[in-house]
Amino acid sequence: METSKPAVTGFKKRQQIQQANRVVFIWVTIAAAALAITVVMAQFMVKQFMFNNVVIGAEVKANSTVQKNITVYDSLKSEVAKLYSNPMLGKLKADPSDTALQVVIDAMPTEDDRVALLASLQQIIFAKSGVHVEAISFNDVAATPSAATPGTSASSGVIAIPFTAKVTGNYDSIKQLLVDLNHSIRPIKVTSLKITGASNSMTAELEAETYFAAPDTVDLKQETKKP
């Protein structure tokens, strides 16, 4: 004999629907949370990937610079060795104890050495020619990049030091002064020259400039990359 199942009442149906809704809500909430976590993780991974690329790019650049420096070092060392053994530079040494490389440094200093330059002009160049120095001074303006020397430009690091001088002497001594300035190991360019007087007593007023080269520096530093 078959027994009939009890009929589902309207109250029971509402309970089942509410329970189903709760289950659906829970699963939707879980799915939404999982999706949010996935999005956040994806954003984090993208940012981390981009940051890693920045770090790797900086490392590659630093390594490339190091490799270039290593390559240049050998050729630079060889060129410096040639200067040390250059016989022509050896003949131009101001002091026998100096190295030949010191001649290069004297010819193009790496700093604005006006005090040493003044002493050199008075005690060596002017004194050698036999003229009497009436006055010598440097312009008050700061040394500025110059393109006055052949083969240089304002961006090459060569900086001009302008100066003026007034000397007296006979024709031969004034002529010798100009020759000595031209033959100076340190480049000196006369930009203006005014000569007055007779051959046995002349006055020369000149404006000129010499130069120094801003030194190149090698800085080792650490750089922090932030994500």
Report the CATH number that the domain containing residue 108 is assigned in CATH: 3.30.70.60
Specify whether 80 is located in the same domain as 137.
no
Q: What is the pLDDT of residue 99?
A: 77
CA angle 35/38/43 to nearest 5° reads 125
Specify whether 16 is located in the same domain as 109.
no
Specify whether 71 is located in the same domain as 108.
no
Give mean pLDDT, residues 99-114.
79
Q: What is the pLDDT of residue 1?
A: 47
Specify whether 57 is located in the same domain as 109.
no
Determine the Cα–Cα distance for residues 181 and 208; give it in Å rounded to an integer.
10
Coil, strand or helix: which one is 10? helix
* Residue 224 falls inside a structural domain: no
Q: What is the pLDDT of residue 148?
A: 41
Q: What is the pLDDT of residue 69?
A: 81
Contact 227, 187 (CB under 8 A): no
* Residue 53 falls inside a structural domain: yes
Specify whether 131 is located in the same domain as 200.
yes
- Determine the residue type at 165: A
Q: Higher-confidence residue: 93 or 45?
A: 45
Q: Which pTM does this prediction carry?
A: 0.54
Give mean pLDDT, residues 176-205.
90
Chosen domain end from 33, 53, 84: 84
| Ramachandran sector of residue 160 (left: φ over 0; alpha: ψ -120 to 50; beta: rest) | beta
| Ramachandran sector of residue 157 (left: φ over 0; alpha: ψ -120 to 50; beta: rest) | left
Contact 210, 187 (CB under 8 A): yes
Q: Is the pLDDT reported for residue 61 higher than 90?
A: no
Total domains present in the chain: 2
Determine the Cα–Cα distance for residues 65 and 62; give it in Å rounded to an integer.
5
Cα Rg, the chain, nearest whole Å = 41
Q: Is the pLDDT reported for residue 173 higher than 90?
A: yes
Q: Is the pLDDT reported for residue 149 higher than 60?
A: no
Specify whether 107 is located in the same domain as 27.
no
Specify whether 59 is located in the same domain as 135.
no
Specify whether 78 is located in the same domain as 110.
no
Q: What is the pLDDT of residue 174?
A: 92
Mean confidence (pLDDT) of the chain: 79
Q: 111 lies in which domain range?
A: 102-213
Specify whether 22 is located in the same domain as 69.
yes
Reported as type and span, the H/E element at residue 91 is helix 87-91
pLDDT tens column, 199-212: 889 999 999 999 88
Q: Higher-confidence residue: 142 or 18?
A: 18
Tokens of 161: 């030091």
Confidence band, pLDDT 50/70/90 cuts, at residue 167: very high
Q: Is the pLDDT reported for residue 128 higher than 60?
A: yes
Q: What is the pLDDT of residue 9?
A: 60
Specify whether 64 is located in the same domain as 158.
no
pLDDT tens column, 21-31: 788 888 888 88
